[in-house]
Structure 1
Amino acid sequence: MIFGDKSRFAISIDLDNDSGGQWLFGRFCYWISGAVVGDYDSGTSLRDVLFQMKYIAGDRGGRFCPALLELSADHALHVISDAINEGSGDFYNYVKNDFLPARLDVRIPVDIFDSWRIFLIDGCGGSRLLYGMIYSSGANALDLRYGEFDTIFGEAYSYLNMIYDKC
């Protein structure tokens, strides 16, 4: 099942024929600008994906950081990564002191995304998805309509929740 537009942003979810009951074994990935992000072929427990998705879904509307959108993709990715890893304090030059940087992290913390950094920043005119391999110094960026990521993510989350409830 595909949610969204693979040429922009989409989520692919495929349940294995032998899904292991409530384990929901299957495959999951993001599609960003036509490229697969995540280790889709390895497969994972979609139940674990579902349980972790609720935190990202809960951050909807809480990622407004227009000053971070003024930075280059590389610099923004570096600033956010450092803040999440408790490195540099530069992050707070761009946001309020009580803002939690983890709100920007839309990488589902499961094995298939272990080698990725994926952040979403919302601003007045839209949103920007920043992504790159964890050990790469470069970043990629995709500009999205405001709410586009959250809508697609919410549809995928609801679908997985429905499947889980049937098991």
Structure 2
Amino acid sequence: MVALRAYDVLCELIYTHGDKSTYIEFIDSPARFEIKINVDIFDGWKMFLIDLENKTLFICQPPDKSISFYDLKIGDFDAAVSEFSEYLNNCYERTIPIQDKTL
């Protein structure tokens, strides 16, 4: 399975300190495909987003769980993360008193 191979290669390139010369076919930084969501519940997750010709491949693995693969329409992940970020910001704005916003 190509998606599993992509996951294995990206994990090896990003998370290990082994010989990276084996993967000379990468013309871009492997970290470009890594997703980091700065919310503590996602700490320890491995997530990658790979845009293909006509779809986006989303690969994720929560800590101590199996890998999941999702085919998405191009742009759907970005839209969902943007909506999620806006929602979190709105929650934050409602919970922080106005006088504390200058900190």
Normalising by structure 1, what TM-score? 0.46
Q: Does 1:150 align with 2:82?
A: no
Cα pair 1:79 1:88 within 8 Å, conserved? no
Change (3 A) 1:111 1:92: farther
Q: Percent identity?
A: 31
Cα pair 1:73 1:139 within 8 Å, conserved? no
Change (3 A) 1:159 1:134: closer
Cα pair 1:121 1:129 within 8 Å, conserved? yes
Aligned to 2:87: 159
Cα pair 1:82 1:88 within 8 Å, conserved? no
Change (3 A) 1:107 1:91: farther
Query: Where does the alignment leave 5 or more consecutive residues of structure 1 unmatched?
Result: 1-70
Cα pair 1:80 1:91 within 8 Å, conserved? no
Question: Relative contact order (alpha carbons < 8 A, sep ≥ 6): 1 or 2 greater?
Answer: 1
Q: Report the Cα distance in structure 2 between the residues aligned to 1:81 and 1:119, rounded to whole angstroms.
A: 9
Q: Report runs of 4+ in structure 1 exceeding 3 Å deviation.
A: 133-136
Query: Where does the alignment leave 5 or more consecutive residues of structure 2 unmatched?
Result: 97-103
Count, aligned residues: 93
SS in 2 for 1:118: strand
Please list the CA deviations of residues 109-162 of structure 1 after superposition, one character each: whole Å capped at 9, or x if unmatched: 5542334311111112010011224566x6321100000000010011112123
Q: Does 1:87 align with 2:15?
A: no
How far has the Cα of 1:165 moved from its partner? 3.1
Change (3 A) 1:160 1:135: closer
Q: Does 1:128 align with 2:57?
A: yes
Please list the CA deviations of residues 5-38 of structure 1 after superposition, one character each: whole Å capped at 9, or x if unmatched: xxxxxxxxxxxxxxxxxxxxxxxxxxxxxxxxxx
